[in-house]
Structure 1
């Protein structure tokens, strides 16, 4: 009787209902955790598991976007799946979704309230002028609201060019498959991209690379608290920087490296480049020394690591594979020392890629050899770095006259 009278009291009724609500949330959370099963890879390809898992994450993001887009684009999804690189597929889908949201929010072309309900008839109303306004007016600067914060997004011509490319591919495909009646892409406004001048290419000079590697060895530029961290990671940091400036690796290529990527007996290591290209790279003596030094004297033994990270080459202090963000911050930190600037203004890993290209050409290697090493799609990209070599030739010839005036 006492229990019944207590439970009927308004105060206790509120407490009991609150406890019930909290228990319900806990059960739902536990159910969600239970459904988040660990990913198991049944891998019959030559790719290491970490790359397969990373690609799977990108595929999942693509599928999430595809679920939101109109059904008549389904064949376009198949085309992207088979026709372009995985990262490009994600970028194109993101741009298309962003454009569809623009149609709903900013135009009267469609009456749909959700992207998935946009129709073929709606898309047939779209003109080149619609696209030009979207890219030229809307995308150049727009606001994104998140909770109580309004973020102003501003895109340069390179970013606008990417969005234009995404929509061009979409509309050409829809026209080819007779989903839309006209090919409107010819009316898209051109987007001028600034021509990259050789002198504007940011890179380290050869003597600056030597200073950077000295800074890793000595640690003299760090505070006492920073030195505690440096003492635990200096061999790892040096190996990372040497690989960047020797091979001009892309950030993703270095982040994906494993212990099993290296075969020191054969003097080579394996990397996976854009569009899934598998490449064997020769190891020079310097790289072999710094990598072995790191693995043997600093890296945590694989026996002490979990299955996901035991093969990862470069580890954080938490014994996890280093993220691209952590590697980028590491490079910025050491290049900032050489440049005499703040960590925020240090060079990115891509600038070390430019450093490798310029240094190789200055050492006398042909632009075609450098193009092959760095995996440039077009030799004109490599020629930008060769322009510095031309300046050296000009100075030599200028100061080597046979006939005096």
Structure 2
């Protein structure tokens, strides 16, 4: 088996059996391409079935000179997955990365925004045109409901249960969850739907999608990033932000105001509480307040 055949088979496996997105598959493929480039540069002729640990170690040593520990860890993980696939298909017996340690990396947490900064972003929106009103409710919902950007852009009219105070969200793994929505956000959303969205003729495939561009198509992830970036520049915000910053701020502010971590886990749609702990950073001052308030030796 040569590298081209192994790589193509692996990509089909990722697509069909694991159901990964094109972006994820491309990311795994780039990890293999980096290894192949190293082999070519060093005139190493070896098949994916025969490659041994010492060659992988040489490769990692070389890339470590140019990329961060986090990037190294991602590449090692990607290659380990590739060779696990070859073992699964009975092409190999051992994984050459099994005994290779992943670089130690700290948790990289995104910036959070204060309530004042979020209000600044919203107040900077130009409401003189319909897209401004749309952008306002988008930011409100990202922050008030803690949505992922993919969840927001795919939100449908049929997902709204506003009389009950909930929206239905299709999250990762095609799993639905119900998320409460604040009455203030409900008012903004109703105004957008009844006074702004109904002026746009949606494309047939997007008739049920809530957030549309001026041509009637659903918004892209990139469009939401651009809107936030422009607003951040407008208010001279020095933090690097995106839609996920608002989701992270949602969780952090709930925690700081006394919400239980398990409840936040459900609201964010995390399967594991460990994931929630990574997203929600606990500063020392807050931990001190919790101990002083709840410990019997206070």
TM-score by length of 1: 0.62
For residues 353 and 362 of structure 1, the distance between their equivalents in structure 2, rounded to whole angstroms, comes to: 14
After superposition, residues 147-166 of structure 1 pair within 5 angstroms as 155-166=67-78
1:203 aligns with 2:115: no
Q: CA deviation at 1:341?
A: 3.5
Residue correspondence of structure 1 range 92-111 to structure 2 within 5 A:
93-95=28-30, 97-99=32-34, 101-102=36-37, 105-110=40-45
Q: Which residue of 2 aligns with 1:341?
A: 237
Tell me the CA shift for residue 132 of structure 1. 3.0
Bigger radius of gyration: 1
In 1, the alpha carbon distance for the partners of 2:106 and 2:85 equals 29
Change in 2 beyond 3 A, CA 1:212/1:88: closer
Q: How does 1:228-267 map onto structure 2 within 5 Å?
A: 231-267=129-165
Q: Give the secondary structure class of the aligned counterpart of 1:370.
A: helix
Runs of 5+ consecutive residues of structure 2 not aligned to the other structure = 294-298
Count of residue correspondences: 290
1:318 aligns with 2:253: no
Change (3 A) 1:90 1:207: same
Q: Are the structure 2 counterparts of residues 84 and 167 from structure 1 closer, same or farther at C-alpha, using a change threshold of 3 Å?
A: farther
User: Root-mean-square deviation (CA), in Å?
Assistant: 3.3
In the alignment, is the contact (CA less than 8 A) between 1:316 and 1:322 conserved in 2? yes
| Correspondence 1:373 to 2:267 | yes
Preserved CA contact (<8 Å) 2:157 2:210: yes
User: Are residues 239 and 88 of structure 1, via their aligned partners in 2, closer, same or farther at CA, if it must alter by over 3 Å?
Assistant: same
Give the whole-Å Cα distance in 1 for the aligned partners of 2:37 and 2:140. 46
Unaligned runs of 5+ in 1: 1-67, 111-120, 142-154, 220-226, 400-405
1:172 paired with 2:107, answer: no
2:178 pairs with one of 260, 267, 280: 280
Which residue of structure 2 aligns with residue 78 of structure 1? 13
Structure 1 residues 311 and 124, CA gap change in structure 2 (3 angstroms): same
Partner of 1:290: 188
For residues 36 and 171 of structure 2, the distance between their equivalents in structure 1, rounded to whole angstroms, comes to: 33
- Residue 270 (structure 1) aligned with residue 179 (structure 2): no
Q: Could you say what secondary structure the match of 1:270 adopts?
A: strand
1:371–1:379 contact (8 Å) kept in structure 2: yes
Separation (CA, whole Å) in 2 of partners of 1:328 and 1:72: 33
SS class of match (1:253): helix
The structure where helix makes up a greater share of residues is: 1
